[in-house]
Amino acid sequence: MHRSALHDDLRATLALALPAVAQSLLQTLVFLADRFFLGHHSAAALAAMQIAGPLTWTLQSVFGAFGVGTLAVIGRAVGAGDRRLAASALYGSLVPALALGLLVGGVSALGLQPLVDVLGGGASTAVRGEAARYLGVVLPAMPLLFVAMVCTQALQAGGDTRTPLAIAIATNALNLALNAVLIFGRFGLPRLGARGAAIANVSAFALEAALSLAALSRRDRLVSLRAVGPLDVRAGMRRVLRVSWGAFGERALYHTGYLVYVRITNGLGPVAMAAHQALLSLESVSFLSADGFGVAAGSRVAQRLGAGDPGGARRAGWIAAGTSAALIAVVAVCLYFGAEGMLRVFLDDPAAIREGVRAMLPGALVQVPMVLSIVLLQSLRGAGATREAFGIAVLGSFVVRIAATLFFVQGLHLGLAGVWLGSGCDWILRAALASWRWQLGHWARVKV
């Protein structure tokens, strides 16, 4: 019986995880395409993504934290068969998503240059200029991105990871086509560089939001904008936000530490910045694959808890974590032994390639701890245990990562390799603590 339950859980987890992983890898392709085209447009354009990329990712992650509440509340509602609660939580997620997107877009209009100057301390004027041009297009479009993120979380919480995959295929195709045309100025258009990449990204955001809203407008879905009967949107919003506050605090502190980490990295100069962006492009295969398994884990955990099955929830977390770790162990080996050839895809500068190869060893060694921490922390969030996830992430990123990076970079003068050693210390600690907290099982008693 136990073996049968494990087998069923594995099948169910993989059925959710594989489309989510494929969707995440398509997101990786967007990331890689931007870096590939920009890297062959100019070194300054690629290095600019070391300023613009962390800032946009920080805003996306911090202000998209209410998606954690979306996943937990809708997942439990689906597990309990309560379609009205699922619809109430969906509307209760879309309202703050749109409001926060408008807030971020409005604040960005007040001035970008101080942010660019702070993050790009070691960058040239050309690099900072490319970063400002990219951000000037992307940040005002944050409402589109935030709405698309909530819609995707809602679909996944309802057990549908195939529709987000299909949407990702469409948005990816649009992004690739526009990148190729706008960055290099084909068909008589001007060469737009980083601004062209930004226009391509925003166009993809708009398409993703439109298609996701259309998918959620079908009445036959477990999670639908057209649910029958009176909805209590305020109650749905309160439940979503109650779960999300811990995730919001976690991400705000995590990304504060992360931006300090980015500033340390950027202080190494343009060569290290370009090499770091190329390494992140390669590592994104691991990171976003783990994110796909984390989506499956969070959804399964929430649904099993909603159905009154904490044992099934525990198994779902461990199965997703173990499966993703086995997959990424293979990826880590490929990254290490194929480092130089892979870096040449993104870099033409021999000095940047050498810097990247030296940093690849510590990067490859921590791929498995990284994915374990991502999946198990997402499992905790799916259970609504955002305070536990908060404590682990803050200790790792805000304390350990910054201290270790400063030690390796400024104390031992290891350059970019020291940056990756510092992040490795963070991932190892987070994996150990997340495994311990998941096994203890206190998350099963959290009220959502």
What would the pLDDT profile of 57-94 be if each residue is shown by its tens digit?
777 777 777 777 887 888 888 888 888 888 898 998 89
CB 423 within 8 A of CB 386: no
pLDDT tens digit sequence for 135-163? 888 888 888 989 998 998 889 888 888 89
Identity of residue 251: R
CA distance 316 to 30: 29
Tokens read off for 152:
């995707």
Residues 268-279 pLDDT 10s: 887 887 788 788
Residue type, 192: L
With the C-alpha atoms ordered 192, 195, 198, 204, is the resulting torsion angle positive or negative?
Answer: negative
Q: Which two tokens stand for residue 55?
A: 């800032």
Residue 21 parent element (H or E): helix 2-41
What's the number of CA atoms in the CB half-sphere (13 Å) around residue 40?
Answer: 13
Q: What share of the chain is helix, strand, coil (3-state, %, to 5)?
A: 85, 0, 15
What is the band of 214 on the pLDDT scale with cuts at 50, 70, 90? very high
d(CA 441, CA 196): 48
pLDDT at 441 over 80: yes
- Specify the amino acid at residue 310: P
pTM above 0.85, yes or no: no
Per-residue pLDDT at 54? 72
* DSSP characters over 177-215: HHHHHHTTT-TT----THHHHHHHHHHHHHHHHHHHHHH
SS3 267: coil
Question: Of residues 193 and 83, which shows the higher confidence score?
Answer: 83
Percent of the chain having pLDDT more than 90?
Answer: 12
Average pLDDT over residues 213-235: 85
Between residues 439 and 159, which one has the greater pLDDT?
A: 439
User: What whole-number distance in Å separates Cα of residue 221 and Cα of residue 374?
Assistant: 29
Retrieve residue 139's tokens.
């940040």
Burial label for 192, CB within 10 Å (0-12, 13-18, 19+), is buried
Alpha carbon distances (Å) from 347 to 48, 198, 265, 344, 359: 14, 21, 18, 5, 15
Q: Which two tokens stand for residue 121?
A: 């301390």
Alpha carbon separation from 41 to 54, 182, 195, 196, 197 (Å, rounded)? 20, 11, 12, 11, 11
Question: Which residue, chain included where needed, has tokens 């499956």?
Answer: 296
Residues 315, 323: Cα–Cα separation, whole Å: 12
Q: Under a CB-based contact definition with an 8 Å cutoff, are residues 175 and 240 in contact?
A: no
Q: Are 9 and 312 in contact (CB under 8 A)?
A: yes
More confident site: 286 or 29 = 286
Q: Which residues contact 304 (CB under 8 A, 6 or more apart)?
A: 79, 310, 312, 313, 316
Q: Report, as an integer, the average pLDDT of 339-347.
A: 82
Using CA atoms, how far apart are residues 359 and 356, in angstroms rounded to an integer?
A: 5
Among the residue ranges 53-57, 222-226, 265-269, the one predicted with the least confidence is 53-57
Q: What is the pLDDT at residue 404?
A: 92
Residue 350 vs residues 341, 346, 347, 354: alpha-carbon distances, Å: 12, 11, 8, 6
DSSP H or E run through 170: helix 162-182
Least-confidence region, from 36-50, 194-208, 312-326, 403-417: 36-50
Beta strands, E only, 304-370: none
**Dist. CA 404–CA 424, nearest whole Å:** 9
